[in-house]
Amino acid sequence: MRFVRDDEVASAIPMREVIDAVERGFALYSLRRVRMPQRVRTDVPEHNGAILLMPCLVPELEVYSVKYVTVYPDNPSRGLPTIFAALLISDPRTGEPKVLAEARAATGLRTGAATAVSIKHLARRDAENLGIIGCGYQARWQLRAAAEVMRCSAVRAYDVVRQRAEELASEASRELGLEVRVSDTAEEVVRRSDVVITATTSRTPFVKKQWVRPGTHFSAIGAFTPDMAELEAELVASSKVYVDSLEAAKEEAGDIIQAVAKGLMRWEDVRAEIGEVVAGLKKGRENDEEVTVFKSVGIAVQDAAVAALILRHLGE
């Protein structure tokens, strides 16, 4: 069994391949052609953390993976990353473990790819103004993925810690050739963007409905528990909402759970899983005026899609 480091994953696997693989993975999931148990979550409230186990078998990709991931929002104050992760990849034909990979980069790649798939299918075709709220580690991958599927003529970033937004802007200029303008408020980002990515661990909804222009697309990828939310309930309820997994969303998608709890919408109002749109089973965006929301809590088929690429590029 080979051990693979994060830097190997980041350098060996092109983002475009990850987007294509995750898009296919979403479709296979919604077509019920993967075996993916609900992820196991262990809360660690005394340290404001969570430990997750995420298994998935994808027969068509000949891959089985299980990811161990921890999320500790207070870690940056300790000089540590918010997320630690490892990915065990096996050959389902024999059960033989093939690769143990560090998985911060893999998680970044697959989460960025999920946003790119949502932009491809749910954003306006002429969208070119990108906004990012929350400029931690994940924001780098979000920006790289978005740049693969839309013309980023203007990029705005906001973080409650301004230095993080400034660091993202510097890296984007140096590595991607993109100019990122640091905004003073989340409101400014939302009002001036066609696509808004929220990548925070906020427990208080901060994106207001009155800020949103017609035709805006949101990819809300930060909140992943019932008591976390980035978009206010009124905005969610008035938008066309799509999810990565309806089953997972009912357990973990705080943005939607809170809107349902307030009686502003029903679960039946969720338009589709993104995989159903990819597979042509349901419709995505239908006009340039509607506001679309892709609410992702992250599902194991995304990790399995990246695992298949790791085996292809780094397995030997």
Please, which residues bridge with residue 130 across strands?
Answer: 155, 195
Q: Are 129 and 123 in contact (CB under 8 A)?
A: no
**Phi and psi based region of residue 268 (left: phi greater than 0; alpha: psi -120 to 50; beta: remaining):** alpha
Give the H or E element holding residue 222: none
Q: Which helix (H) or strand (E) element contains residue 72?
A: none
Q: Are 193 and 131 in contact (CB under 8 A)?
A: yes
In angstroms, the CA 35 to CA 311 distance is 19
Identify the burial level of 268 via C-beta atoms within 10 angstroms of its C-beta, where 0-12 means exposed, 13-18 middle and 19 or more buried.
Answer: exposed
Q: How far apart are CA 109 and CA 101, in angstroms?
A: 14
Query: How far is 221 from 102, CA to CA, in rounded Å?
Result: 21
- The DSSP symbol for 172 reads I
Of 67, 98, 240, 295, the active-site residue reads 67
92's tokens: 């389902």
Strand, coil or helix: 118: helix
Q: Catalytic: 262? A: no
Q: How many Å apart are CA 271 and CA 266, to the nearest integer?
A: 11
Residues with a catalytic annotation lie at 67
